[in-house]
């Protein structure tokens, strides 16, 4: 089902898994075009002045991660230019410490964000995001909050509604090792209104 402004619907549904990532420390896209095809995107009309405020986007992602020792993983869903590691964080975690020596532990990232104010063209619009990340491979209690801007209270004011926005699902790892791997296996993005 295609997204229809003002009605809601699926913006993106992955049909394949992303390419496994390993030996990295900087933030990288794990919804890579090599593994998952074209990046999820919305046109500027998605945030149109008559329809943009109160627009809710729901995100559901699942995958697996492995680690040696106890590196941290930081998850971010960014909205902006394609493959951006600096665009607005619609949903993001703190650095999450993994358990030592885990293999293929499932993780689940679920959250929603809403546009609360449309500003002038440029990175001037505000969104608020809240969600949860569950993973048996991170330190107890195995769950972590996701926030707009990457921190509580979940508000960021740098969304640019005037451009074609890509949804970049990114991760950073604190230690480079072939054993520190992550794979995005499922991604769904839905416009709820």
- Please list the residues that pair with 102 across neighbouring strands: 67
Q: What whole-number distance in Å separates Cα of residue 44 and Cα of residue 53?
A: 13
3-state SS string for the chain: CCCCCCCCEEEEECCCCCCCEECCCCCEECCCHHHHCCCCEECHHHHCCCCCCCCEEEEEEEEEEEECCCCEEEEEEEEECCCCCCCEEEEECCCEEECCCEEEEEEEEEEEEEEEECCCCCCCEEEEEEEEEEECCECCCCEEEEEHHHCCCCEEEEECCCCCEEEEEEEEECCCCCCCEEEEEEEEEEECC
Q: What pTM, to 2 d.p., does this model score?
A: 0.94
| Cis previous bond, 26, omega within 30 | no
pLDDT at 20 (0 to 100): 97
Which residue numbers in the chain have pLDDT < 50?
A: 1-4, 6
pLDDT (0 to 100) of residue 8: 65
pLDDT of 6: 47
pLDDT value of residue 51: 74
pLDDT single digits (tens) 122-139: 999 999 999 999 999 999
What value, to the nearest 5°, has the Cα angle with vertex 21 and ends 113 and 173? 65
């Amino acid at each position: 089902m295609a997204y229809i402004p003002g009605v809601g619907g699926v913006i993106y549904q992955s049909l394949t898994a992303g390419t496994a990532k390993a030996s990295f420390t900087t933030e990288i896209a794990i919804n890579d075009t090599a593994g998952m095809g074209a990046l999820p995107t919305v046109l500027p009309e998605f945030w149109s002045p008559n329809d943009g405020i109160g627009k809710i986007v729901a995100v559901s992602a699942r995958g697996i991660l492995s680690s040696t020792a106890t590196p941290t993983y930081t998850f971010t869903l960014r909205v902006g230019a394609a493959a951006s590691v600096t665009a607005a964080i619609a949903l993001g975690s703190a650095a999450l410490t993994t358990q030592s020596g885990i293999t293929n532990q499932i993780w689940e990232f679920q959250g929603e964000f809403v546009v609360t104010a449309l500003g002038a063209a440029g990175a001037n619009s505000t969104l608020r995001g809240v969600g949860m990340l569950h993973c048996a491979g991170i330190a107890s209690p195995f769950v972590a909050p996701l926030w707009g801007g990457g921190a509580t209270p979940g508000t960021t004011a740098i969304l640019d509604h005037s451009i074609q926005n890509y949804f970049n699902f990114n991760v950073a790892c604190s230690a480079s090792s072939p054993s520190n791997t992550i794979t995005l296996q499922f991604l769904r993005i839905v416009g709820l209104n």
